[in-house]
Structure 1
Amino acid sequence: MKKLLIKKDSELTDKEIKEIHQASVREFHEPFTKTVGHESRGRLLFLLKNENDKVIAMGQLIPVEPVQFRGETFSILGIGGIVSNIKGKGYGKKIMTAIKQYLIKNCKTGIGFCGLSNRPFYEKCGFFVNQNSLQRFVYYEKSKKIVNVEDEAVLYFDSDDHFMEKALAYPTEEVLLPRPPNW
């Protein structure tokens, strides 16, 4: 029987970290590291495990705050690291369903970034995908503007704060992030 767990960074076992790391390197060519200090505050890992207690799918929600847009401040959750180790079995959808339920329960807007080839998957999971807004999510490091150049679209699930509704209503204005848009 498969089980879905939601864990903080600090609750991960060494075995889970190793399995998440292997999947992250395979899918994203980036190592997974357990974050420390301020960065780890509130990051949640969604893990789907099989009968042998092996991670078969995963995803994460990362606090991103404060986000500034048109004089308002927002607190969003970054959706990232979505991986199914076995494709076509619905495991990724189980992760995204759990993430969506978490966002609804906690009245939070979730935002991630994806390639257009993944658009049908995210839409099937009940998320929205917008390919015109990616370059509007910016982070300024000193005077250098940093945008996401690896992905092609923004995936999102809006909450009661209507953040994305507001952002989409003003398509030429930047969304100012407190960190680079690479989650």
Structure 2
Amino acid sequence: MKLPYEIKNADELIASEIAIIIKSWEQQEWDSLTVEEFKEKFSLSEFHLLKNEDGNICCLTHLNFDFKVELKHAVYDICELVGLVSTVKRQGYARQLLQEVVSNLQTRKIECIGFCGKELRPFYEKCNISILYDQAGYLREKVSDGQIDANPDDDILIIFLSDDKYRLLEDLNDNCIGYLLF
């Protein structure tokens, strides 16, 4: 059964929705966030939800618009798909939500990538998402204090991206490193 699809900004989420999102993401450092802190932290995000007839969230993800990628010394605004989680397992909701998100981004012409570990490749392959295998390690994280961290993921997911940016990501290697800017 296909569920209704909703998009909300952080400030449009109600407390019960925020509680479900935090619980679903299983990030201990976010467990203690108040509703106001959550809304502030994710103010540049957009939440994509599938809800059942009772209004319960069955699947969720968010698009992080506070995200830039530096490739070959040029900085690009590319949003990031993060936190795709089904609260109801094995019903096809994650696949449906991913299809809805891709269609929405294509319509709005918003470029977006995501990341995954090797264990999640089969899911994204089944969803027909283009994957740049083992390329995520060539994107390093530049954080505000100038520190550079390795990306813990294996693959780059191409949710919706122009051909030129796809080629830039595809060309990453030991001699051509990119950076994630936060």
TM range (shorter): 0.7 to 0.9
Distance in 1, matches of 2:30 and 2:67, equals 24
Please state how far the C-alpha of 1:102 moved relative to its aligned partner. 2.1
Quote the residue 1:2 is aligned against: 3
Q: Report whether the alignment pairs 1:101 with 2:103.
A: yes
The TM-score with structure 2 as length reference comes to 0.84
1:47 aligns with one of 41, 46, 49: 49
Give per-residue Cα distances to partners, 1:61-96, cap 9 Å, x unaligned.
Answer: 111444221133211010111001122211001110
Residues 101-151 of structure 1: per-residue CA shift (max 9 Å, x gap): 1221222322111121211211222212223211111123445321222x3
Identity %, equivalent residues: 24
Q: Give the TM-score, by structure 1 length.
A: 0.83
Deviation, 1:152, is 2.5
Q: Sort the Cα spacing of 1:144 and 1:73 in 2 relative to 1 into closer, same or farther, 3 A.
A: closer
Query: Any unmatched runs of 5+ in structure 2?
Result: none
1:121-160 residue pairs with structure 2 within 5 A?
Answer: 121-141=123-143, 142-149=145-152, 151-160=153-162
| 1:166 Cα deviation from its structure 2 partner | 1.8
Deviation at 1:30, TM superposition (A): 5.8
- CA distance 1:64–1:175, change in 2 (3 Å): farther
Of 173, 178, 181, the match for 1:175: 178
Q: Given that residues 61 and 79 in structure 1 are in contact (C-alpha distance below 8 angstroms), is that contact kept between their aligned partners in structure 2?
A: yes
Distance 2:100 2:15 in 1: 23
Change (3 A) 1:51 1:104: same
**Is the alpha carbon distance of 1:120 and 1:30 closer, same or farther for their aligned partners in structure 2, counting shifts above 3 Å?**
farther
Q: Which residue of 1 aligns with 2:13?
A: 12
Q: Is 2:71 the counterpart of 1:69?
A: yes
Q: SS at the partner of 1:177?
A: strand
Q: Which runs of 5+ in 1 are unaligned?
A: none
Relative distance call for 1:84 and 1:168 in structure 2 (3 A) is same
